[in-house]
């Protein structure tokens, strides 16, 4: 298990852009499971949307990317990279995520190298898939 302090030691994102609260499982080279507790207190709900709070799909993709970065760092131990750039995202969103939901992120490795990785990504709430796709990112 990994808390927010340890998460922060591995990725450069910070509040208000830290999209993971906890990592529950890592199998280096293979997969990572993490979650984010979605709270109504988060500022973007003021505008997304004023009458109906929906967790932005772009932030689900961001949570996926952050989990993938952690997996990459925990898998390639001599990786010197400190910055990560998303270069490709193909994600479908199936169901809205709302305040109170615990957003589970499951990332599986397709290919990992020192210059970046390709990952199969999934997000789920209460065991039901809410988004699924593939993501490629470069690191420097």
Partner 1 sequence: MPKVDDLTLEKELREIIAKIVELEPEKITLEANFVEDLGMDSMMALEILAAMEKKYKIQVPEEKLGQLRSLNDTIKLTKEYL
- Footprint on this chain of partner 1 (rule: CB under 8 A): 87-88, 110-111, 113-118, 136-138
Task: Tell me, yes or no, if 114 is annotated catalytic.
Answer: no
| Choice between 82 and 113, CB closer to partner 1 | 113
| Choice between 48 and 74, CB closer to partner 1 | 74
Q: Which of 22, 48, 74, 108 is catalytic?
A: 48
| Choice between 18 and 79, CB closer to partner 1 | 79
Smallest distance, Å, CB 135 to partner 1?
A: 11
* Planar angle of CA 62, 55, 20, nearest 5 degrees: 45
Smallest distance, Å, CB 59 to partner 1?
A: 22
Smallest distance, Å, CB 118 to partner 1?
A: 5
Pairing of strands 102-113, 31-37: antiparallel
| Choice between 104 and 137, CB closer to partner 1 | 137
Smallest distance, Å, CB 77 to partner 1?
A: 15
How many whole angstroms from its chain centre is CA 17? 11
By annotation, the residues acting in catalysis are 48
């Amino acid at each position: 298990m990994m808390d927010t302090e340890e998460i922060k030691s591995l990725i450069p994102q910070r509040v208000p852009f830290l999209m993971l609260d906890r990592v529950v499982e890592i199998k280096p080279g293979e997969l990572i499971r993490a979650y984010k507790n979605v709270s109504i207190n988060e500022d973007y709900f003021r505008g997304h949307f004023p009458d109906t709070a929906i967790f932005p799909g772009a932030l689900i993709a961001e949570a996926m990317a952050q989990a993938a970065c952690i997996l990459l760092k925990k898998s390639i131990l001599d990786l010197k990279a400190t910055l990560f750039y998303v270069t490709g995202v193909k994600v479908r969103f199936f169901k809205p995520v709302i305040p109170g939901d615990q957003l589970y992120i499951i990332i599986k490795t397709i290919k990992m190298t020192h210059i970046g990785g390709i990952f199969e990504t999934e997000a789920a709430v209460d065991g039901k898939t809410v988004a699924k796709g593939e993501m490629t990112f470069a690191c420097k």
